[in-house]
Amino acid sequence: MDKMHVLLDEENKVINVIMLDDLCSQEVINLIIQSNNATDIKPIDEDKWWTHSYMGGHYEAGVLWSQKPYPSWIKNYDKKDWAAPIQCPGNEEDYAWNEEALNWEEITE
């Protein structure tokens, strides 16, 4: 069965996302790592790979992190995702993060 994997550099940054068969030999995996100038390869959780773009993200303590969306956002280790420094007051589809004000703003149309 094919599964998404990420190739990591020496700083655990994602440099490529690829699909690999579970039956790939270690020789093939080593060749993929070498040809991409990677230092490691990690599988992506089935329920996460399609929800984020991981290119430029990083791998830390068993968690694959997407790129940090805003400088003020922090890691939410429980949800394994980035979080604003303050909770959104409602449905995030109705609010947008304002990095300058460090606050959520209601979207009005």
What is the residue-level pLDDT of the chain in tens, covering all 109 positions? 678 888 899 998 888 888 888 788 888 888 888 888 899 888 877 665 554 567 778 888 777 888 899 999 999 988 888 999 999 987 767 899 999 999 999 988 7
Alpha-carbon distance of 18 to 41, in angstroms, equals 10
E-strand stretches of 1-109: 2-8, 14-21, 40-43, 58-60, 63-65, 74-76, 81-83, 95-98, 103-106
Q: Looking at residue 51, what is its pLDDT?
A: 46
DSSP-assigned beta bridge partners for residue 2: 21
Question: Tell me, what's the pLDDT at 72?
Answer: 97
Helices (H), 1-109: 26-35
pLDDT computed for residue 85 by the predictor? 95
Would you state the pLDDT for residue 55? Answer: 76
SS3 assignment, position 13: strand
Closest by Cα among 101, 99, 94 to 82:
99
Amino acid present at 76? N
pLDDT of residue 98: 94
